[in-house]
Each structure stands twice: as C-alpha cells, then as structure tokens.
A and B are shown apart, each in its own frame.
Chain A
Amino acid sequence: MNEKDFEKIALEWAIIEAERCLYCFDAPCEKACPINLPISNFIYFIKNKNFKSAYELVRENHPLISIAGCVCPEEILCQTECTRGKIDKPIKIRELHKFLTEYFCDNKNLSLPEYKYEEVAIIGGGPASLSCAFYLRTFGYKTVVFSDTELGGIPLKEISNLRLSDETLKRDLDFIKENFIFKFVRKRVENLNEILNSFKAIFIGIGLSDEIELEVLGKDKEGVFKAREILRKIKRGEEIKFGERIGVIGGGNVAFEVANTLKTLYPDKEVIIIYRRGLTDLKCYPEEFERAKKLGVNFYFESIPIEIVGKEKVEGIKVTQVSLKEKDKDGRRVPKLIENSEFIIPLNNIIIAIGQKLEETIFPEIQKENGLIKVDENFMTNIKGVFAGGDCVNGGDTITRAAKEGKLAAFKIHEYLRRI
C-alpha cells in the first residue's frame, strides 16, 4: 500500500468519524481541553470536507498541534467529556486533529501583523515558551528566545521517536521558528539581571531540568541511571548497554515512558516497574499503563526500595513491602512499611523515575514555592514584568497545559505592556 492509499483511507475514516460528532453547542470536549481547542468546529469542518480550513482552525488555536496529535492524553481530557460517548463511543478527537496536521499541513495562508511593539524575552525553548512566543507574535511583538539547547523542549529531547516522529516534531517546531520567533539566542541565562534592563517583559518557561534522586544505599553503583537521561540518550540514538533485567523505579508518566520505550526497543529484555503505591495510585495516563501491559512490562507494586545491591555493578534492589491504608491531605494513600518484608529483586540495571524538580540555584531573585516558581493569577512572578509558566510553575503536566500557560501568559504580557 503506498502513501496515497493511506491518505485515502485516512480521509474516509476522518469523514466517517466526523459525521458521528453531534456538533454540541458549548461543547464539553472544548472545556475539557487545556487549551480550549475549538473541537466541535474543526470536526464540523472535516465533516464538510473543508479540510484546509479545519487545519487552519486547529493551528491558530494550538501552536503545538502536531505534537499534541501524537502525545496528548485525550483519554483523560477531551474524550472523557465527549457527548457522543453517552450514546456509544467518544469521538476520536486527537486522531482527527492528527489527521489534519498530517495531511493538510499548509501554512501558505498565514497572515501575521507587522511588528509594532517592543522585544519580549523568553527564557527556555519548550512548549510553554514556544506557545508564548507564538501568541506574542500574533499581537505584533518581537520575541527573543534564549535557550542553551535547540528549541523544542521535552518533545524534542525526550519523547521517543516511537511515539513522536521527527517529521511530526519538525512540522510544529519549524513552523514556530520560522514565523513566530524574531531572534533565537543560544545561550543559558544564568542571572535575570543580565537581561532585565534590555526587556520590559520576560517570560520564563524553563521546565524542570533536574531529576529527583533516590536516596538509598548503593545509588552510585554502575548500572544506575536517571530516567530522563536515558530518554535523551535514546532520542539521540546513542547505544546504551543494558543487562537482561531492567528495573524502573516510579509510577508516573516518565517511568512509563522509559519502561515502554525500553520494552519496545528491547523486547527480549525484562522490564519491571517498581512502585511504592498500588495500581489505583499510578500517576501515569491510563493509555500508558495499558500500553505497558500490552508490551509485557512487569510490575512490583507496594514496594519501596531500600538498597541497591551488588559489588560494583547493580545486581538487584532490596525492597520492603508496604501497606496502603490512610490517605494524605491530597487523598493519596500513604505507604507504611511492613516489618520483615524485605526481599531482593534481581536486576542488572536500575532507572530512577521518581520525579523532576526545578534547578535549585536557578534565578535566586525569583520567589519559589514548593520547589516551583511562584506566580500570581496573571502568571507574573514576584519581579514586575517577569512572567512564568509551564512545568516550572505547574510541577509537570501535559504539553497542551504548558502551551496553554504560555498562551495565557502572552495575553497577560500584552495587557501588562500596553498598560504601562
């Protein structure tokens, strides 16, 4: 089957799927979408074979729509609210906008206003920053983006090609880089004072670059890795030598991303997720858990690591079992150690995926709270004119939420700059 045939099938599928949409007024799917994509409208356009307009509509409303088409967890967002789901099955919303970006990506009609306002600095090159740049440009600002690495953030550096192809990524990144960024400065901004006098407004979207370490004995043994470090290496195509049994510590999306990627790349190896809470407490998207099950990832739930064992290299991990009874203030069950329940899980490698954090020493002048940048309802930090959004503010969430915060911050920056 050649590419044209695929296109034809996709087209037929999209129209049939779009015809199922009820075209709800005040559609609940749109409210559930972090960036309030005009879902019912773009699906209505598809139904009428008005594909180019549908593409333009999603593109105007989501700067990273191609990426979102691959990785947005629609099963916990828009699709859960789809009215059609009350009749039979929810509309496959993510697949529909993915279809648009794959087959109707055409930006020839793009019309942007003349540059009419001052330059705004953006620190960081991930989804929040790119989204902020995108919307600031639509108001007529010149955006200067500072980033010590290539623009693209986590989707570029860490999401494996198995889920997000280079082609898809390029589609969004090139579009933004070419049209919405006035200047890209490849530089790490160490101190805000360096640029504070040059710009009236600054947006910080630096994400969470550090990983939380597992504080157990033996954590420095050979064969212990950090999850995002592994994801980055895989993305760069670097070869990593793994043993036959790989343990992944953690129950969030990063843990599952790394476990699923490894199991896909090395189907013969055993990949085990070790998590201190239970199945119902997992923090990953349900789709990722399902994917892990299908791929054959194994699980040790209610197990807390207490020591990484082995001489120089990892030979296993000693865990102790826990019971989960009381709930903490967030409603999550607190693990309580069960005495004399220790056992060793034999492993050749251990990957730590227990969370991310903001670089501790970054921007000391900015006020932090719970290890994250603190902002007010206008996304402004304690420093006037300095705004922030995305993972460094929300603690790590979806790409679409980061894009939304970048968008809202852009609106607030515009308001702020035009008022002063």
Chain B
Amino acid sequence: MFKLRDLSIEFLGITLENPFILSASPSTDELEIAINGLEAGWAGVILKTTSVEDNPVPLKYPMMSSFGNYSKRVLGLGNIDLISKYHIDEVEKRVKILKEKFPHKMIGASIMGSKKEDWQNLVYRLRKAGVDIIECSFSCPQGSMGEAPGRMLAQSVQATEKVTSWVKEAAENTPVLIKITPQVTDIVEVAEAVKRGGADGITASNTIPSLLGIDIYTFEPYPTVFGYSSYSGLSGNAIKPITLRTIAEIKRNVDITISGNGGAYSSRDAIEFMLVGASNVQFCTLPMVYGFRVIEELKRGLSHYLDEMGFKSPSEIVGKTLEKIKTNEELIILDFVKAKIDEEKCVGCELCFVSCRDGGHMAIELKEETRVPKVNEEKCVGCALCMQVCPVDAIKIYERKINIEHYYIRK
C-alpha cells in the first residue's frame, strides 16, 4: 500500500534488488527453504558451503545453543555445525534450478576444499552450473580445514593468498568472495592477501570461535551432545560490534568490495554495516531465529532511512562513516567535557550516581530535596558512564567552553 523506494544496489557487476542476502547457512541448505527465502523478498542467496563428493561431513546433533538474557531472547547463537552434507553434485543441480526460477536474483554458492584440485574443481563445476558468485569459506571455526589442525585458513596470510589465487584462476570472470575470520592479529594483512590473490571481494566476516556456556549443575558445556561438547561458532547480534570493526578496518585500509556478515539483527544494524563500508549485508541468524519475514523490516527500514536522510540510492551510504573513524592518538583532547542531567527527563533511579560513585569519578551527588542527582563539574571528566546506565537518556555529555553537545543515539 505504501510505496517502497528503489533499494537496488550494484555488487561486483550483479544488480541486487535490495542489499539483503541470505548467507551460507542452514537457511540456504535445503532447496525448498532457499526458494522460500527468495520468494519472501531476499535479493539473493549463497548456498551453504559445499565440498567435493569424497569429502565426508560428519555432522553432530544437537548442534545449536544460544545465549541471551535469562528471558530466553537469542542474542547469540552458537553452533557446532560443519559445512553442508550436500556435495557439489547436488549443489550444481540446485544452482541451475534456482537460476532458472529466479533469473533476477543473485544465486551464489559457498565452497570449501583442502587440495588445489578440489578448490578448482568446485569452482569449475559451479561456473558451469551458472552461479552468479562464488564465496570461499576460509573461516569456518569448526573442523580443521586450514593448514594446521584447529586453525582456520584465513588465519594464515600466506595460505589465504595462495588459495585465493587458485580459486580466482579457476573462476576467471565469475566474481569471487573470500569469507574471512575476525579472529586474527591483523585483519588488514589478511585482506591485503585476499586482494593480492585476486579475489573480487571479501565477506567480512564469519562466526567467532566460542564456548557458549556451561550447565553449572551437570558441568556439561553447550551445546551438549549427550554430555560433551566442542567450541561453537558464535553468531547473532552479540557479534555485531566485532563485525563492524572488521568491516571498517578492512575498508579503511584495502580497496576491495565488502559483503558484510555477522550480527546484523535489524535494518538499523544493516545500515551501520553499510556505513562502515559493506556493499550489502548477509543474514543468517536473524532469519534462523525469526524467519524470512524479517526481510520486510529490513527493506522498509532502509527505505525510510534513505528518505529521511535524502539519499537517492543505498550505494550512497556505503562507507559514509569511515572518515569519522580515527586512531585513539588522533582524537582531540578537550578539557571541559562534562555530564549534564536533564531534570525533566530524569526519573530518579539514581543509577548514574551509583555507577559514578563506584566505577567513575565520584562526580555525581545526590540532592536532599529531589531524586534528580547533581553533577559536580569540578570532579566530572565526561567519561559518559552515567550516560550509558541512564534508562531514559536523560544524560548528555557536553563541552562546557564551546558548548557542543555530544549525542549517543539519535532519537
């Protein structure tokens, strides 16, 4: 009923109807589910990571666990999943079916190999099947597909460059994305290796090795596979800040196209990914938890944002924030940064007082006559801890001399 603005965006020569695609995940591991996703309005899919036929995939169940607050919201999802149980022969068929059924959607596939021949064989076969894009998983935290057991391929700069070059050699004009891990010492080195290897873009990034939790009564770690467990790959909103940093750091230092992946849970999150340099955003945990219907929120949210901000196309927001990211040394030092409490908004919980007293600079004082605390400007350094704990956004930080107000969340 209400008109949605044009959300299309170019990505490595492919026109996406909107910047939201389903990442290589359980949501793209069954043909029927992938079809449902595309029909629901997602701009493309990357089929779950496949391998050559003789590669065994010993999946263990149950494989999912989650954490959140105690009211059971899934803030982080952990899995001990591996790559798809479907090998390249099946994926080839699916690519053909999907491409025929959805000629205007992006049909991608993710691959993982061990030997050069395997990587290249996978690429040849996908190309032949008509795939739009090939993503290479260099970062699955489970299994031991890297150059050493337990290591992920993208944790080695040399291996990353070498394998990327094998893949690109075989892919020729088909765009190649390398999916990396944030679990490295220097993400820029890895991204540079991907570029030297000739890939067209980077998927930044993947799940993060983690231990989801432990049942304190049985001592069993989660997800418990009948009493035992292994480290999980952590996804979901919990990892969003890590992904944001990964994308930003790559984009600031390496001239390469980025597909953002890992932790976006809403249209606002997706916009943030794009602002730090992602040309599109991949989703896995969000539809896994809430279903494909979430695409509506993503599309409408982005559409209204572009309208509000006066942008013509989603491509205009890509990387908008980058110039505002500095090193700590480059940030300016202001002497008169202070907290200011809006007495009208304050509800009198006094959380700012207790956090400043026990974790700040003892600069907030209680007043006898009212529950609205008072900032002692002599002691306040403007650290903004109070601002974080205020449940009603009644505290702002401002620079007293030049009277500039700092805001945390645009309301």
Check A15 for interface membership: any CB of B closer than 8 A. Answer: yes
Beyond A19-B69, A47-B70, is A28–B371 a contact (Cβ under 8 Å)? yes
CB A11 to nearest CB in B, in angstroms, measures 9
Write out the residue numbers on chain B whose beta carbons fall within 8 Å of the beta carbon of A49: 70
Chain A positions 8-32 with a Cβ under 8 Å from a chain B Cβ? 12, 15-16, 19, 22-26, 28
* Residue with the greatest number of chain A CB neighbours at <10 A, chosen from B347, B349, B350, B371: B349
Q: How many residues of B contact A (CB 8 A)?
A: 15
Contact residue among B69, B70, B349, B353 (Cβ-Cβ distance under 8 Å from A83) = B349
A48 and B70 contacting across the interface, CB-CB below 8 Å: yes
Check A1 for interface membership: any CB of B closer than 8 A. Answer: no
CA of A16 to CA of B72, assembled, Å: 9
Chain B positions 342-372 with a Cβ under 8 Å from a chain A Cβ? 347-351, 353-354, 366, 371
Check A86 for interface membership: any CB of B closer than 8 A. Answer: yes
Check B391 for interface membership: any CB of A closer than 8 A. Answer: yes
Q: Is the interface of B mostly helix, strand, loop or mixed?
A: loop
A83 and B347 contacting across the interface, CB-CB below 8 Å: yes
Write out the residue numbers on chain A whose beta carbons fall within 8 Å of the beta carbon of B322: none
* Residue with the greatest number of chain A CB neighbours at <10 A, chosen from B69, B348, B366, B371: B348
Beyond A87-B391, A87-B392, is A25–B70 a contact (Cβ under 8 Å)? no
CA of A12 to CA of B69, assembled, Å: 12
Write out the residue numbers on chain A whose beta carbons fall within 8 Å of the beta carbon of B70: 15, 19, 47-49
B71 and A19 contacting across the interface, CB-CB below 8 Å: yes
B350 and A24 contacting across the interface, CB-CB below 8 Å: yes
Q: Give the size category of A's interface with B.
A: 10 to 19
A24 and B349 contacting across the interface, CB-CB below 8 Å: yes
Chain A positions 61-95 with a Cβ under 8 Å from a chain B Cβ? 83, 86-87
Write out the residue numbers on chain B whose beta carbons fall within 8 Å of the beta carbon of A25: 349-351, 353-354
A86 and B347 contacting across the interface, CB-CB below 8 Å: yes
Write out the residue numbers on chain B whose beta carbons fall within 8 Å of the beta carbon of A48: 70
* Residue with the greatest number of chain B CB neighbours at <10 A, chosen from A24, A47, A87: A24
Write out the residue numbers on chain A whose beta carbons fall within 8 Å of the beta carbon of B354: 25
CB B342 to nearest CB in A, in angstroms, measures 14
CB B217 to nearest CB in A, in angstroms, measures 12
CA of A15 to CA of B71, assembled, Å: 6
Beyond A22-B391, A26-B366, A87-B392, is A16–B351 a contact (Cβ under 8 Å)? no
CB A270 to nearest CB in B, in angstroms, measures 46
B351 and A26 contacting across the interface, CB-CB below 8 Å: no
When C-beta atoms are compared, the residue in chain A nearest to B70 turns out to be A15
Write out the residue numbers on chain B whose beta carbons fall within 8 Å of the beta carbon of A19: 69-71
Write out the residue numbers on chain B whose beta carbons fall within 8 Å of the beta carbon of A28: 348, 371
CA of A48 to CA of B70, assembled, Å: 7
CB A45 to nearest CB in B, in angstroms, measures 12
CA of A26 to CA of B351, assembled, Å: 9
When C-beta atoms are compared, the residue in chain A nearest to B348 turns out to be A83
Contact flags (1/0) for B313-353 with A, using CB distance below 8 Å?
A: 00000000000000000000000000000000001111101
CA of A358 to CA of B71, assembled, Å: 50
CB A24 to nearest CB in B, in angstroms, measures 4
CA of A48 to CA of B69, assembled, Å: 9
Write out the residue numbers on chain B whose beta carbons fall within 8 Å of the beta carbon of A15: 70-71
A87 and B347 contacting across the interface, CB-CB below 8 Å: yes
CB A74 to nearest CB in B, in angstroms, measures 19
When C-beta atoms are compared, the residue in chain A nearest to B390 turns out to be A22
Write out the residue numbers on chain A whose beta carbons fall within 8 Å of the beta carbon of B348: 24, 28, 83, 86
Chain A positions 207-221 with a Cβ under 8 Å from a chain B Cβ? none
When C-beta atoms are compared, the residue in chain B nearest to A18 turns out to be B70
CA of A23 to CA of B352, assembled, Å: 11
* Residue with the greatest number of chain B CB neighbours at <10 A, chosen from A15, A22, A23: A22
CA of A25 to CA of B353, assembled, Å: 8
CA of A22 to CA of B70, assembled, Å: 16
CB B271 to nearest CB in A, in angstroms, measures 27
Write out the residue numbers on chain B whose beta carbons fall within 8 Å of the beta carbon of A86: 347-348
B71 and A24 contacting across the interface, CB-CB below 8 Å: no
Write out the residue numbers on chain A whose beta carbons fall within 8 Å of the beta carbon of B366: 26
CB B357 to nearest CB in A, in angstroms, measures 8
When C-beta atoms are compared, the residue in chain B nearest to A21 turns out to be B349
When C-beta atoms are compared, the residue in chain A nearest to B71 turns out to be A16
CB A81 to nearest CB in B, in angstroms, measures 10
CA of A16 to CA of B349, assembled, Å: 19
Contact residue among B69, B72, B349, B353 (Cβ-Cβ distance under 8 Å from A22) = B349
CB A16 to nearest CB in B, in angstroms, measures 5
* Residue with the greatest number of chain B CB neighbours at <10 A, chosen from A19, A23, A25: A25
CB A30 to nearest CB in B, in angstroms, measures 12
Write out the residue numbers on chain B whose beta carbons fall within 8 Å of the beta carbon of A24: 348-351
When C-beta atoms are compared, the residue in chain A nearest to B69 turns out to be A19
Chain A positions 258-280 with a Cβ under 8 Å from a chain B Cβ? none
CB B362 to nearest CB in A, in angstroms, measures 14
Contact flags (1/0) for B49-83 with A, using CB distance below 8 Å?
A: 00000000000000000000111100000000000
CB A276 to nearest CB in B, in angstroms, measures 40
When C-beta atoms are compared, the residue in chain B nearest to A85 turns out to be B347
CB B352 to nearest CB in A, in angstroms, measures 9
Contact residue among B71, B72, B351 (Cβ-Cβ distance under 8 Å from A23) = B351
CB B216 to nearest CB in A, in angstroms, measures 10
CB A100 to nearest CB in B, in angstroms, measures 15
CA of A16 to CA of B366, assembled, Å: 30
When C-beta atoms are compared, the residue in chain B nearest to A24 turns out to be B349
When C-beta atoms are compared, the residue in chain A nearest to B350 turns out to be A25
Write out the residue numbers on chain B whose beta carbons fall within 8 Å of the beta carbon of A26: 350, 366
CB A92 to nearest CB in B, in angstroms, measures 15
Write out the residue numbers on chain B whose beta carbons fall within 8 Å of the beta carbon of A23: 349, 351
When C-beta atoms are compared, the residue in chain A nearest to B354 turns out to be A25
CA of A412 to CA of B154, assembled, Å: 72
Write out the residue numbers on chain A whose beta carbons fall within 8 Å of the beta carbon of B353: 25
When C-beta atoms are compared, the residue in chain A nearest to B358 turns out to be A25
CA of A48 to CA of B354, assembled, Å: 20
CB B267 to nearest CB in A, in angstroms, measures 25
Write out the residue numbers on chain A whose beta carbons fall within 8 Å of the beta carbon of B351: 22-25
CB A55 to nearest CB in B, in angstroms, measures 17
CA of A87 to CA of B72, assembled, Å: 23
When C-beta atoms are compared, the residue in chain B nearest to A11 turns out to be B70
Chain A positions 164-187 with a Cβ under 8 Å from a chain B Cβ? none
* Residue with the greatest number of chain A CB neighbours at <10 A, chosen from B71, B353, B391: B71
Contact flags (1/0) for B199-222 with A, using CB distance below 8 Å?
A: 000000000000000000000000
CA of A86 to CA of B391, assembled, Å: 11
CB B215 to nearest CB in A, in angstroms, measures 13
CA of A230 to CA of B14, assembled, Å: 83
Write out the residue numbers on chain A whose beta carbons fall within 8 Å of the beta carbon of B371: 28
CA of A382 to CA of B176, assembled, Å: 94
CA of A49 to CA of B70, assembled, Å: 8
Write out the residue numbers on chain A whose beta carbons fall within 8 Å of the beta carbon of B392: 87
CA of A19 to CA of B69, assembled, Å: 9
CB-defined A-B contacts under 8 Å, sample of 28: A12-B71, A15-B71, A16-B71, A19-B69, A19-B70, A19-B71, A22-B347, A22-B349, A22-B351, A22-B391, A23-B349, A24-B348, A24-B351, A25-B350, A25-B351, A25-B353, A26-B350, A26-B366, A28-B371, A47-B70, A48-B70, A49-B70, A83-B348, A86-B347, A86-B348, A87-B347, A87-B391, A87-B392
| Closest 3 A/B residue pairs (Cβ) | A25-B350, A25-B354, A24-B349
- Other 7 A-B pairs with CB < 8 A, given A25-B354, A48-B70: A24-B348, A24-B349, A24-B350, A25-B349, A47-B70, A49-B70, A86-B348
